[in-house]
Chains A and B, each alone.
Chain A
Amino acid sequence: MAIPGQRNKMDKTLLHLEDVYKRYFNQNKKEFTVLNDIDLKVNEGEFVSLIGPSGCGKSTLLRLVLGSEQPSEGIVHFDDKKIIGPDRDRGIVFQKYSLFPHLTILDNIAFGLDVEGFTIPGRIFTPFKYSKRKKEFRKEAQLYLERIGLKNDGDKYPHQLSGGMRQRAAIAQSLIMKPKILLMDEPFGALDDSTRQDMQLFLLEQWKKEQMTVFFVTHDLEEAIFLGSRIIVLSQYYKTDKDSNEGSKIVSDLKISEKTIKPTSFKYSKECADLIKKVRHEGLDPEHKQHIREFDLNHKDSFRTITQDEWNNK
């Protein structure tokens, strides 16, 4: 029973993008648009999969949310505040370079706690307290190590681990700081199939356990649908009346499931197959271009700020 005037915690908006454009310059110093008028709202607890053809701007969109880049136009808000740079609220797992090569796995996972507990005066004037805290941090990191199944690998360096183990550690490294949202850019892209499946299940477990919000970029449609409670398709394959489109738009925004883990058998269900077919056709097929009026944006949080003028002139 919802109490009037009090929003359900899970319905709190975390991420809010409105009228976002991102443009870059090419080699000839000519400007080109990568993201064209993106509107997006993500609520707490959601597992959002972002998919799209290669080079459509998925990583670019993720970098805007991360804060490592600024939009050319429009607003990117997180928790009702403008994003000005990467910070503790948003954790990130990249496909590569996620772990610090000079630290052991345990130290990598404890890194965030270490820097949080570190002050120069504290280090100098209360060295005993400092080393005690460091030990506590290691204990906590050890718990995460056990959770990711690397109990005995804490003193290894990243280059001594397999790709899958490294990505697990990278996820733990972010999770230990309890970020409000976990951003991931093709984190399993370099893994073999079976490791990839293990990692998917692992990630879903963490999602449930921590009640996290996840923003997951992938180019694997099946992965996107299996993992996500919501799928967003970013694509440059669409058309307008004028047919002079440039840059990608969100062409589909669909609910896949409740915020629950789907059974592995979902991958083989008809529902999944239909969804794959639909998304592939509407978003990923260069031959088929939907008109911007036809976009399927039926997720409840989806919105578009578009004026009559824009409808007609685009």
Chain B
Amino acid sequence: MKNMKIFDTQAKYGKYTTILLSLILFFLTIFLYFFTAHQRHKENPDDKIVPTASEMLDGLKRVTIQKDRKGELRLWIDTYASGKRFLISLFLLVFAVILGLNMGVFPIIEHFFLRFMTFFDKIPALAVLPILFIIFGLGETSKIALILIGVFPTITLDTYLRARSVPSEQITKGLTLGASDFEIAYKVVLPQIIPGVLDTIRLNFKAMILFLIAGESLAATVGLGYRIFVIRRYIAMDIIIPYVLWMSLLAFTADFLVRLWVKNGYSWTEKQNG
């Protein structure tokens, strides 16, 4: 017992201690939940607000393996519908990256877009939603448009700033080695900023999901966001909670995959120094 300090800035912990420490809050939350559920069911066996584990498992079964009245497996078709909207938006964000890159490399494109994008970025996307519904109707377009209005400018501006912060020496060096302006953009600047841009996109998953759920909750006939708002009317917590957990799990997995991609695909980003 040499060191009794708890808050020691130099402290180092072993692998198991670290894992144990990080699990505490998870277990505590789960415990508190089931404790509450248990208590409430003791008072009222029909309690719907805090369903027990078996009730939720039951609910989960009803949406994953038992067909509903329409003969559909709800969770899967909802996941498919929402996933498709998410992936289409994600694909369209490629153009945000390309635009930001070119803004960062070519002054003419910078001057043309920068002010507009900066303003565009400040438009509250959710406030535009009624306009989108009026223009595009209640179909897929307006939901994807909402996501893009929400995150496209952010990604563009972030890519732009990253492209700008590539040292000018690198660009000069590229030019002295005979690279064209096009090659400067796509062979010198872009590969250097890709890992950072991927990180930004990953951190914006949350915003994208937020806009997706908002869009779905107001106008959709299928989708994860749509579903939880519909069954809210029946206080179907036994389904809402698994849905929320499922969405979180999906988001976490997507985030994790991108992190893995950056880590393995761009090993040169580790501990860089000039």
Cβ A66 vs Cβ B191 within 8 A:
no
Cβ B176 vs Cβ A118 within 8 A:
no
| Category for how many chain B residues contact A | 20 to 34
Residue of B nearest to A92 (CB): B176
How distant is the Cα of A174 from the Cα of B174 in the complex, in angstroms? 10
Once A and B bind, how many residue pairs between them come within 8 Å at the CB atom? 77
* Residues of chain B with a CB closer than 8 A to A177's CB: 176-178
Is A116's CB within 8 Å of the partner chain B? yes
* Residues of chain B with a CB closer than 8 A to A101's CB: 192, 268-269, 272
Is B124's CB within 8 Å of the partner chain A? no
How distant is the Cα of A91 from the Cα of B172 in the complex, in angstroms? 10
Question: Nearest chain A CB to B114's CB is how many angstroms away?
Answer: 22
Query: Given the known A-B contacts A118-B183, A159-B270, are A96 and B177 also in contact in the complex, defined by CB atoms under 8 Å?
Result: no
Is A74's CB within 8 Å of the partner chain B? no
Cβ B187 vs Cβ A115 within 8 A:
yes
Cβ A100 vs Cβ B170 within 8 A:
yes
Residue B167 contacts which of A66, A90, A97 (CB distance < 8 angstroms)?
A: A97
Digitize B89-125: 1 where CB-to-A-CB distance is under 8 Å, 0 elsewhere.
0000000000000000000000000000000000000
Is B173's CB within 8 Å of the partner chain A? yes
Question: Nearest chain B CB to A271's CB is how many angstroms away?
Answer: 35
Question: Nearest chain B CB to A76's CB is how many angstroms away?
Answer: 16
Residue of B nearest to A86 (CB): B175
Cβ B178 vs Cβ A159 within 8 A:
no
Is B267's CB within 8 Å of the partner chain A? yes
Residue A102 contacts which of B168, B172, B192 (CB distance < 8 angstroms)?
A: B192
Is A237's CB within 8 Å of the partner chain B? no
| Category for how many chain A residues contact B | 20 to 34
Cβ A87 vs Cβ B179 within 8 A:
no
Is B17's CB within 8 Å of the partner chain A? no
Is B64's CB within 8 Å of the partner chain A? no
Query: Given the known A-B contacts A68-B168, A97-B167, are A102 and B268 also in contact in the complex, defined by CB atoms under 8 Å?
Result: yes
Cβ A173 vs Cβ B172 within 8 A:
no
Interface residue ranges of B52-108 to A (CB < 8 Å): none
Interface residue ranges of B238-274 to A (CB < 8 Å): 266-274
How distant is the Cα of A87 from the Cα of B183 in the complex, in angstroms? 14
How distant is the Cα of A177 from the Cα of B176 in the complex, in angstroms? 9
Residue of B nearest to A114 (CB): B187
Residue B176 contacts which of A90, A103, A159 (CB distance < 8 angstroms)?
A: A90
- Output the residue of A87, A100, A103, A177 with the most chain B CB within 10 A: A100
How distant is the Cα of A117 from the Cα of B179 in the complex, in angstroms? 10
Interface residue ranges of A154-208 to B (CB < 8 Å): 157-159, 173-174, 177, 179
* Residues of chain A with a CB closer than 8 A to B191's CB: 102-103
Cβ B172 vs Cβ A112 within 8 A:
no
Is B180's CB within 8 Å of the partner chain A? yes
* Residues of chain B with a CB closer than 8 A to A87's CB: 175-176, 178
How distant is the Cα of A96 from the Cα of B168 in the complex, in angstroms? 11
* Residues of chain A with a CB closer than 8 A to B268's CB: 101-102, 157-159
Is A94's CB within 8 Å of the partner chain B? yes
Cβ B177 vs Cβ A111 within 8 A:
yes
Query: Given the known A-B contacts A102-B266, A159-B270, are A85 and B170 also in contact in the complex, defined by CB atoms under 8 Å?
Result: no
Cβ B176 vs Cβ A86 within 8 A:
yes
Question: Nearest chain A CB to B33's CB is how many angstroms away?
Answer: 46
Digitize A121-137: 1 where CB-to-B-CB distance is under 8 Å, 0 elsewhere.
00000000000000000
Is B169's CB within 8 Å of the partner chain A? yes
* Residues of chain B with a CB closer than 8 A to A290's CB: none
How distant is the Cα of A157 from the Cα of B270 in the complex, in angstroms? 10
Question: Nearest chain A CB to B28's CB is how many angstroms away?
Answer: 41
How distant is the Cα of A148 from the Cα of B174 in the complex, in angstroms? 21
- Output the residue of B174, B178, B271 with the most chain A CB within 10 A: B178
Is B236's CB within 8 Å of the partner chain A? no
How distant is the Cα of A192 from the Cα of B51 in the complex, in angstroms? 69
Residue of A nearest to B266 (CB): A102
- Write the residues of chain A forming the contact surface with B, with a CB cutoff of 8 angstroms: 66, 68, 85-88, 90-92, 94, 96-98, 100-103, 111-112, 115-116, 118, 157-159, 173-174, 177, 179
Other A-B contacts than A116-B178, A157-B267, 19 sampled, CB-CB below 8 A, are A66-B176, A87-B175, A87-B178, A88-B176, A92-B172, A94-B173, A96-B169, A97-B167, A100-B188, A101-B192, A102-B192, A111-B174, A115-B178, A115-B180, A158-B268, A159-B273, A173-B177, A174-B177, A177-B178
- Write the residues of chain B forming the contact surface with A, with a CB cutoff of 8 angstroms: 167-170, 172-180, 183, 187-188, 191-192, 266-274
Closest 10 CB pairs of A and B: A112-B177, A86-B175, A97-B169, A157-B268, A97-B167, A88-B178, A102-B191, A115-B179, A159-B272, A96-B274
